[in-house]
Structure 1
């Protein structure tokens, strides 16, 4: 009997739940070993993560500064390619150093292979993301 491999939708739904219900390591476990995550509108140093180890390190590096409490406004658009979906959502959280709340709307194009995220092109609200990074820098969280 074959083991069930998560579908693209199941993997994305699990990823969204894990953002608030799991650890950053739990989240990184949902990404393939050779994953590529791009953030084309982010500052240069945050535009790309290649490989699970780099992504895991980045996620864990931000864990002490960004606490996520809710994922809302979720819409998953399945495409004609069963491995690819477009996901709209808003992350709600708190900047740990200041206690300041934030909401960051995003649209991600995600490719899932064998139940793991193999590629993600992440597009967040640029103005809100820049404000978030500036708040982290002002709090001494980023250099």
Structure 2
């Protein structure tokens, strides 16, 4: 009799996530998430973002800026917590936006809850100002956030 393999641990799921991001395997990333996942991005610009459900995650990856990005993940540190479902991951994105030619370095922290080998909840803290700048969207982000334009000399 063969045993069913145990579901992937939170660290392993996170490692698959960052490997997929680095490989630009955007479409397959949604499969790492549970059907009823909730992703919160509190520092997104111009306003906090909440993504609910695997289908919305798939749409986010399929319709997001991924086709325009090259990203490498480095300096990964994963912190185990007293809750076996939760890890905190600290890492850096080094990337390039093809349409603008801009390169960026973005520090990140993610708090992931993984249950039965799938991400059921995530809080993603990225440096969204640096991302907006890399996509040449900083003036629009500032205007949306403050209601005022960014004045350049």
TM-score, length basis structure 2: 0.80
CA distance in 2, matches of 1:63, 1:125: 17
Map 1:79-94 onto structure 2 (within 5 A): 79-94=81-96
Unaligned 5+ runs, structure 2: 140-153
Structure 1 spans left out of the alignment, 5+ residues: 139-143
Secondary structure of the structure 1 residue equivalent to 2:100: coil
Partner of 1:141: none
Structure 2: how far apart are the matches of 1:3 and 1:41?
37
Q: Whole-Å Cα distance in 2 between the matches of residues 53 and 67 of structure 1?
A: 24
Match of 1:17 among 16, 19, 42: 19
**Which of 76, 79, 86 matches 1:77?**
79
Aligned pair 1:64/2:67, yes or no? yes
| Number of residue equivalences | 136
Equivalent position of 1:54 in the other structure: 56
CA shift for structure 1 position 66: 2.1
Report the 3-state secondary structure (helix = DSSP H, G, I; strand = E; otherwise coil) of the residue aligned with 1:127: helix
Using structure 1 for the length normalisation, give the TM-score: 0.85
Deviations 1:81-106 (A, max 9, x none): 00000000111111121221111110
